[in-house]
Structure 1
């Protein structure tokens, strides 16, 4: 090299490090501390093990055991520990978490970051999801899955347009894709029927028009769509009505009224079948709705 012969040396040397003649690397001192080697393992190997699981989606128990063995082998090599050293002691010596606990920690960090209120990426994903589902609902929407109903209340004849079945105006709202409730559940569901209730008594009169739901249960007294009738009606705990209608006015001293309840699923109950005064039946039909007790 540079017109000079290189001197022969029985011990190969590279960058100031002398190796054994057979390159077995036995008893070789790399001049790196155990802490540095542990950091290198965490940065180059364990990071791949931990974060790759987010891409793969899941890891089976067998694969998890294989990854644990890889980490144990690295710890034994760094700290010159025996081959039969227990996994518990290996983690204690290296101050490392097991692969399973490490993945749980990464999952927790990910979800804590994802649910932050100021996360533009999550907001963008939610907006995209809503747009996709709105398009799907418009595409699949048919009368089989929903019903449109009038939605109004008349208290002591303060809304005559709601009481006249042949009077149509902007003040009588037709609720499209009407939602209502099921007993003992907090969610809203697509309505199956429309309801019209007219009741009088104790100096008060009510007309209620909205949507209701047949939940399909076998309890007849809890299914308002199956009890269309004229007779005594209780307005207390009236179940099945769309909660957007306010019922504060209905909390009177007496809750039992004389009236007619009509339920239908084809014409928004738009029929003129009620008189101002209801003629009592010879035998009263007592139907008291005991809902949401």
Structure 2
């Protein structure tokens, strides 16, 4: 809203007309943008990675163990894979698949865990398990495990990756939603 200097009746009327015109355009465009944003989301969904999810302790789940054969493990593939995020409630689209293979220090039992995770946005690499694979010791449910934690984010189930088209679609959808939200204010 532009303020007219002093009281200039002509300036005031022009400004009222401009404000009315913008409100009319905004109210007509807003539903269209929201519908387009919904359609993009409905057809192309989220950009979560698909990951195998399973746990095997001392070989009790052979389909989860190494060597891993994905020919007979379709039931283990979670699509899309959702994971928790530090300091937030709920589940979010995962950005990486993870695998932990190790030995419990207290019992000597082996453990293999496959799952998914996402970056929580902290500033340091050492607090984000998906930013860097590493081997050594860690605590899992208050038990010390010697092993390796590996992550991959280059493809679904670390087998196939999303195409460039899906990334362009995600960017387009996000721009439309942002524009729609700006017009809602």
TM-score w.r.t. the length of structure 1 is 0.37
Q: Secondary structure at the match of 2:71?
A: coil
In the alignment, which of 84, 87, 95 is matched to residue 192 of structure 1?
A: 95
Structure 1 residue 140: deviation in Å?
A: 2.6
Q: Distance in 2 between matches of 1:188 and 1:147?
A: 13
Mapping of residues 1-293 of structure 1, within 5 Å: 136-141=40-45, 145-163=47-65, 164-170=67-73, 172-201=75-104, 202-236=107-141, 255-267=143-155, 268-269=157-158
Determine which structure has greater relative contact order: mean sequence separation of CA pairs < 8 Å that are 6+ residues apart, divided by chain length: 2
Mapped contact 1:161–1:168 kept (Cα < 8 A): no
Q: Distance in 2 between matches of 1:156 and 1:269?
A: 24
Mapped contact 1:149–1:194 kept (Cα < 8 A): yes
Segments ≥4 residues shifted beyond 2 Å: 135-138, 219-222, 266-270
Give a deviation string over 1:126-178, Cα, whole Å, max 9, x none. xxxxxx95x65341336xx2110001111110011111322531464111111
Structure 1 residue 219: deviation in Å?
A: 3.2
TM-score w.r.t. the length of structure 2 is 0.56
Structure 1 residue 183: deviation in Å?
A: 1.0
| Structure number with larger C-alpha Rg | 1
Mapped contact 1:154–1:160 kept (Cα < 8 A): yes
Mapped contact 1:161–1:172 kept (Cα < 8 A): no
Instruction: Point out where structure 1 has 5 or more consecutive residues left out of the alignment.
Output: 1-131, 237-250, 271-293
Q: Distance in 2 between matches of 1:141 and 1:171?
A: 21
Instruction: Point out where structure 2 has 5 or more consecutive residues left out of the alignment.
Output: 1-36, 160-185
CA RMSD of aligned residues (A): 2.4
Q: Distance in 2 between matches of 1:174 and 1:208?
A: 13
Q: Distance in 1 between matches of 2:91 and 2:134?
A: 26
Q: Counting strand residues as a fraction of each chain, which structure ranks higher? A: 2
